[in-house]
Amino acid sequence: GQQLNQSPQSMFIQEGEDVSMNCTSSSIFNTWLWYKQDPGEGPVLLIALYKAGELTSNGRLTAQFGITRKDSFLNISASIPSDVGIYFCCAGKSTFGDGTTLTVKP
């Protein structure tokens, strides 16, 4: 099946720092979504992107749908301890990246 390359695999940051992660694909997709998963729980949708070039914010989160339709990034500003978790990109109907594990040190 199609694959997404999500990076970085993990991040260790101090509280208050900004975070950036991205996903790339060799295929074109018409939608990009970002989810967050807490340990032992199901993922929760953070942001959905439906148009190439679209930049969307949700509180401290900002995500962009790449103009080539082959990539997307997610930024988290001023991180807080509850941002800890695994962040997944998802392209198209159900192609998921392997996740970025975020650890925030108080």
Binding mask 15-54 for another protein (x = CB under 8 A): ----------------x-x-x----xxxxxx--x-x----
80 near another protein (CB under 8 A): no
What is the DSSP code string of 43-80? Answer: -EEEEEE-STT-EEEETTEEEEE-TTSSEEEEEE-S--
Task: Give the angle subtended at the CA of 20 by the CAs of 60 and 77, to the nearest 5°.
Answer: 25
63 near another protein (CB under 8 A): no
Other CB atoms within a 10 A radius of the CB of residue 38 amount to: 12
Give the nearer residue to another protein in terms of CB position, either 16 or 50.
50
Between residue 81 and residue 100, which ones bind another protein under the rule CB under 8 A?
Answer: 88, 90, 92-94, 96-99
Both tokens of 35, joined, read: 């989810």
Q: Applying CB under 8 A, which residues contact another protein?
A: 1, 4, 6, 31, 33, 35, 40-45, 48, 50, 88, 90, 92-94, 96-99
